[in-house]
Copies of this chain bind each other. A is one copy, B any other.
Amino acid sequence: MPKYQPPRGTRDFMPWEMVRRQYMFKVINKTFEKFGFAPLETPSFESWELLGAKGGGGEAIKDEIYYFKDKGGRGMGLRFDFTASLARVVASNPQLAKPFKRYQIGPVWRYDNPQAGRFREFWQADIDIAGSRSMAADAECIAALASCLKDLGFKDFVIRLNSRKLLNGLVEAAGINDKKAPSVFRSLDKLEKQGQHAVEKELKKSGATAKQIEKIMGMISISGQPKEAMPKARQATEGFMDAKQGLDDLEEIVELSKAYGTAGMITIDLSLVRGLDYYTGPIFEIKSISKKGSSVGNIAGGGRYDNLIELYGGQPTPATGGSLGVERIFEIMLEEGMFAGIPKEKTLVFVAAAMNTPAMKKFAIQTSQKLRQQGIATETDVMGRKLKKGLEYADSKGIPYMIIIGEKEIKSGKMTLKDLRSGEQRLRTLKSIVVAVRKYQKQ
């Protein structure tokens, strides 16, 4: 049993995992930038005033985050998402050109009960567009997230789309007081996890009549391709302005998504609610479908929040965005073998001295330095070990090439290049070694 361990719900990422995580983040990063999102970085903790603000996290969130007091007695919390900080930045920098399109990738912290696949420290990758009321912004966020998934190798996924405005309309159409909408949403949000019966029970408890419940449950069962689901939804909510506005928004997103090439993946799903209180317009979630055809859980989600920035003291600024569930994405990529071809070891060459003499050791260092100057990741002995031990080390790590330096090699300017996979070895000049290794690198 080790003397010390990482805190509960946190993890160490060992080099062979990190290489793959870095690959995943690099692809995401690059894709976000292809869509014109620029990096923003905010502090790892924020004042409790911000995190617990009404309309943002709210008082209740204190139990779910890492809350602490700093030495000056000020309440602080580790960030539990990037949205609060983004809203703060936009609110306090009114001079920022709009649209303000930013991404942020990094760890966030929640005081969850750690269980399978859930951690207290986990990474997120967010994009948001502040300053645009247009559904073009929502369609672009969805397209950018879908594009990340494609670039990572995900082939099949479903984009579930709904709208808070439409949901408001549903509540209205069911004859429920619209002040009760937030509590109704919280109940509906439990449908997937707790099932229809539990949701109906909760709605009843909060004062809805059997008829109202029947009506609302009927409406949220509407789902399917936009072509089919939209007319049904229009019919069910006819005469309710909020619902109409919500449906018009969704129609516009679907239309623009055709140009983005994402329309075919969209399912309208009136039962989608999402947990957060601050959404005001379209909301979405992306589900991946495994090779075997089964859903493997939500891997992205987001929505529009037009009031949050004003709530945080800024000018009225509409905003929309979304987040990739990178921890789940990473797991799926591992399970489905999507890292095949990404080498776990980045060092390409190990330079070894045939004998443990100072002159040879120095020549090995000099040779390593020359390779590094050519951009080739190179190791050489730092243990005072003999050739055989160096070979074992290089082999166990999966380093593909070894250069062996001997007396002859120092004199002739040629050295032995050994391919550790095939065992082949040949005398070569350094220049031709560089060519051979670069060729391998490009494979």
Task: Give the interface of A toward B (CB within 8 A).
Answer: 2-8, 10-15, 18-19, 21-22, 30, 33-36, 38-47, 49-50, 53, 63, 66, 68-72, 74, 76, 78, 85, 88-89, 91-93, 97-99, 101-102, 107, 109, 111, 121, 129, 131-134, 136-137, 140, 143, 147, 255-256, 258-261, 312-313, 345-347, 358, 361-363, 365-366, 369, 372, 375-379, 381-384, 393, 396-397
Contacts and interface: CB of A to CB of B under 8 A. Distances in A.
Contacts of A2: 88, 91-92, 313
A43 B92 contact: no
B13 A41 contact: yes
Nearest to A261: B369
Nearest to A262: B369
B46 A6 contact: yes
A42 to B, nearest CB: 5
A13 B39 CA distance: 8
A92 B131 contact: no
Nearest to A367: B259
Contact of A396 (B8, B97, B396): B97
Contacts of A46: 4, 6-7
Q: Which of A43, A98, A366 has the most CB of B within 10 A?
A: A43
A97 B3 contact: no
A4 B49 contact: yes
A259 B369 CA distance: 8
10 contacts: A3-B92, A3-B312, A5-B92, A14-B89, A18-B39, A22-B39, A38-B345, A45-B66, A66-B70, A129-B382
A388 B377 CA distance: 49
A379 B35 contact: yes
Contact of A375 (B22, B34, B134): B34
A117 to B, nearest CB: 17
A43 B36 CA distance: 31
A396 B40 CA distance: 18
Q: Main secondary structure on chain A at its contact with chain B? A: mixed
Nearest to A62: B71
B44 A313 contact: no
Contacts of A21: 41
Nearest to A129: B382
A134 B12 contact: no
Given A7-B47, A43-B121, 11 more contacts: A4-B50, A4-B88, A7-B45, A8-B72, A14-B89, A15-B38, A18-B40, A30-B375, A35-B378, A132-B384, A260-B365
Contacts of A366: 259
A93 B11 CA distance: 14
A74 B131 CA distance: 43
A102 B15 contact: yes
Contacts of A98: 383
A134 B38 contact: no
A166 to B, nearest CB: 21
Contacts of A375: 30, 34
A2 B3 CA distance: 46
B92 A10 contact: no
Contacts of A136: 361, 365, 381-384
Contacts of A131: 383
Given A3-B91, A34-B377, A361-B136, A39 B68 contact: no
Nearest to A84: B4
A68 B132 CA distance: 40
Nearest to A320: B382
Contacts of A15: 38-40, 102
A310 B147 CA distance: 47
Contacts of A121: 43-44
B36 A18 contact: no
